[in-house]
Amino acid sequence: MKTYLFALLVLCVVLLMHMIGLRGLYVHFPPYDIILHILGGIGIGLAVSAFIKIHGRNIVHKRLAVIIGVLIIGLIWELFEVYYDIAGYPLWTTPYFIDTAKDLLDDIIGGSLAAWIAIRPLITNK
């Protein structure tokens, strides 16, 4: 399956799971947030890797570019949470900063998995 189609599938699953989580699963099962951030990191990482495969032929460190792309989008998501005050903890408190750091780390873990899966090294028989 093409990488971008798989990315779309994973991100649709994340959206569906997020909608389910809004009905109380985030509160009653705290690890649910971790699962969704890792899956979101995988979906975004696959989308970034598909973009790199199409448009980034000159990028030398493709895996690093995927991880950085996931981190940037994760930071944008965290800013979205701040703007709409949906971070889960009072803004600018210690629990808020811990949650944000955990979320970004989970995003990077998912992005690293996606980079490892989607960006295959060239194997030459020399």
pLDDT digits (tens, 9 = 90+) for 66-91: 999 999 999 999 999 889 988 888 88
Q: What are the structural domain ranges in the chain?
A: 3-118
Q: d(Cα 7, Cα 103) in Å, to the nearest integer?
A: 20
Q: Three-state SS string across 14-31, please?
A: HHHHHHHHHHHHHHHCCH
30-57 pLDDT, tens digit each: 899 999 999 999 999 999 999 998 898 8
pTM: 0.89
